[in-house]
């Protein structure tokens, strides 16, 4: 089930299509933290009705200071966005690249932004036999002559991660060739040791995208941020839509970033559930599960049933997965599922087992 833009997470449309009450949908198609949002954020949210009639700070200073303090960077190295999606589009509109390289399969919004800008898009296709891992020598080769490379790390939908040290080497080589890197770290909170922010300076030729909608389960309020050289951020701020980050989003984001206990607990629970789901999915003969460091798995259907059909069958059990057939470089054999709480993971596993048993019995 995807939206008109081809993403997962459209629970309302799914509920309407399959005649399920929205509250009963088990959404494994979006990659939100199943233990979020943090309690601390919910408390502040409940006390925030007075903000509804106030204009937000157009510069989101409160949030920028909090983010900058954590790294540490200058608040002027930070730009806040209405989700990191706003910043993907803003950056492309500002950079106006002639040629860009995408490493596919990956998050589709980069291509959308580049197409809207009229940029020539080149693709480096990752190979299934390498578990969709990136080879940096190949990447550099494919990047010859482009202005911008988008690198999603960890990558959606594959869950593969390029280690921090390799990205640093890559950035150096790209810098020498005048290639700018957009590094999307929407899922880096699950592997914080690989984050690049601490390597950023005002001379950097890379930009980091961060989202608070995944790890903090705040998709509904749309909040993300970007980190870059101060000169670049200043220019982006000039062209950004005024008040795109609302007041509520700003204060809830600060609360989330301050909740260290939530972050610790989430990572701990995640590790258990991720291992559980990986083992259980891998034990199903009809499936091939790709290794992932993130809170989702890319899965291949080995024979027979296709992802579209599986999506329909799971919908009958109120379970929503992401048919990954519309990712560039994948086809109708692939789907993606998020790591959820144990009960939901178990429901998924039971449903999959039933579906495959029934399809065996029918053949």
Q: Would you say 208 and 183 are in contact if contact means Cβ atoms under 8 Å apart?
A: yes
Give whole-number Cα distances, 91 to 112, 148, 347, in Å.
Answer: 13, 11, 41
Comparing CB distances to ligand PLP, the nearer of 70 and 350 is 70
Closer CB to ligand PLP, 156 or 311, in the complex: 156
Which is closer to ligand PLP, CB of 139 or CB of 152?
152
Which of 32, 77, 84, 217 touches ligand PLP by CB under 6 A? Answer: 84
- For the chain, strand residue ranges (E) read 26-27, 78-81, 99-104, 120-125, 148-152, 180-184, 206-211, 224-227, 287-289, 296-301, 319-320, 322-323, 334-338
Nearer of residues 213 and 345 to ligand PLP, judged by Cβ:
213
Question: Minimum CB separation from ligand PLP for residue 18, in Å?
Answer: 22
Kindly give, in sequence order, each residue whose CB lies less than 8 Å from that of residue 294, ignoring residues fewer than 6 positions away. Answer: 31, 154, 156, 159, 161, 187, 190, 191
**324 vs 352, which CB is nearer to ligand PLP?**
324
Q: What is the CA radius of gyration of the chain?
A: 20
Our CB check for ligand PLP shows the closer of 103 and 281 to be 103
Which one, 149 or 355, has the nearer CB to ligand PLP? 149
What is the nearest approach in angstroms of ligand PLP to the Cβ of residue 9?
7
**Residue 9 near residue 216, CB atoms below 8 Å:** no
Residue 8 CB, nearest approach to ligand PLP (Å): 8
Contact 245, 82 (CB under 8 A): yes
Q: Are 207 and 232 in contact (CB under 8 A)?
A: yes
Region of 66-74, 77-85, 252-260, 315-323 interacting with ligand PLP (CB under 6 A): 77-85
Cβ atoms 132, 126 nearer than 8 A = yes
Residue span 185-224 as binding mask against ligand PLP, x where in contact by CB under 6 A, dash where not: -x------------------------x-x-----x----x
Which of these segments, 80-88, 169-177, 236-244, 289-297, binds ligand PLP (CB under 6 A)? 80-88
Distance, CA of 235 to CA of 231 (rounded, Å): 6
Residue 239 burial (CB count, 10 A): 9
CB of 266 to ligand PLP, least distance (A): 17
- Binds ligand PLP (CB under 6 A): choice among 104, 184, 189, 344: 184
Which residue's Cβ has the minimum distance to ligand PLP?
83
Residue with tokens 């839509």: 241
- CB-side neighbour CA atoms (13 Å) of 195: 18
Say whether residue 108 binds ligand PLP (CB under 6 A). no
Q: Which of 95, 203, 90 is nearest to 146 (CA)?
A: 95
Handedness of CA 170, 172, 173, 176 (dihedral sign): positive
From the list 152, 233, 252, 281, which residue makes contact with ligand PLP (rule: CB under 6 A)? 152
Q: Which stretch binds ligand PLP (CB under 6 A): 38-46, 60-68, 78-86, 259-267?
A: 78-86
Instruction: Between 25 and 152, name the residue whose CB sits nearer to ligand PLP.
Output: 152
Among 82-90, 161-169, 327-335, 354-362, which window interacts with ligand PLP (CB under 6 A)?
A: 82-90
To 10 degrees, what angle do helices 260-282 and 342-362 make?
20
Instruction: For the CB of residue 160, give the shortest distance to ligand PLP in the complex, in Å.
Output: 12
C-beta closer to ligand PLP: residue 37 or 83: 83
- Residues interacting with ligand PLP, by CB under 6 A? 83-85, 107, 152, 156, 184, 186, 211, 213, 219, 224
């Amino acid at each position: 089930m995807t939206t008109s833009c081809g993403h997962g997470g459209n629970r309302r449309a799914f509920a309407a299509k399959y005649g399920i009450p929205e509250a009963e949908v088990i959404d494994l198609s979006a990659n939100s933290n199943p233990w979020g949002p943090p309690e601390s954020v919910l408390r502040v949210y409940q006390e925030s009705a007075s903000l509804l009639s106030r204009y937000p700070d157009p510069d989101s200073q409160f949030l920028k200071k909090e983010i900058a303090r954590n790294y540490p960077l200058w608040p002027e190295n930070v730009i806040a966005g209405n989700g990191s999606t706003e910043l993907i589009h803003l950056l492309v509109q500002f950079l106006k690249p002639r040629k860009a390289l995408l490493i596919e399969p990956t998050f589709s919004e980069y291509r959308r932004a580049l197409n809207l800008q009229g940029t020539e898009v080149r693709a480096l296709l990752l190979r299934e036999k390498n578990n969709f891992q990136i080879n940096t020598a190949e990447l550099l080769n494919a990047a010859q002559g482009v202005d911008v490379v988008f690198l999603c790390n960890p990558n959606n939908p594959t869950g593969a991660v390029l280690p921090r040290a390799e990205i640093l080497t890559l950035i150096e080589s790209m810098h020498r060739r005048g290639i700018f890197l957009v590094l999307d770290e929407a899922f880096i909170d699950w592997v914080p040791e690989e984050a690049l922010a601490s390597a950023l300076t005002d001379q950097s030729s890379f930009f980091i995208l961060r989202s608070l909608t995944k790890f903090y389960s705040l998709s509904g309020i749309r909040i993300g941020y970007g980190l870059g050289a101060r000169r670049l951020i200043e220019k982006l701020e000039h062209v950004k839509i005024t008040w795109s980050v609302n007041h509520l989003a700003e204060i809830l984001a600060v609360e989330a970033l301050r909740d260290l206990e939530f972050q610790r607990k989430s990572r701990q629970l995640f590790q258990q559930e991720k291992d559980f789901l990986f083992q259980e999915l891998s034990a199903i003969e009809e499936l091939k599960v790709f290794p992932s460091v993130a809170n989702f798995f890319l899965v291949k259907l080995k024979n027979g049933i296709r992802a579209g059909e599986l999506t329909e069958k799971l919908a009958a059990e109120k379970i929503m997965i992401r048919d990954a057939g519309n990712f560039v470089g994948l086809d109708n054999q692939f789907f993606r599922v998020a790591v959820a709480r144990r009960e939901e993971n178990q429901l998924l596993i039971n449903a999959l087992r039933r579906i495959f048993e029934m399809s065996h019995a029918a053949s």
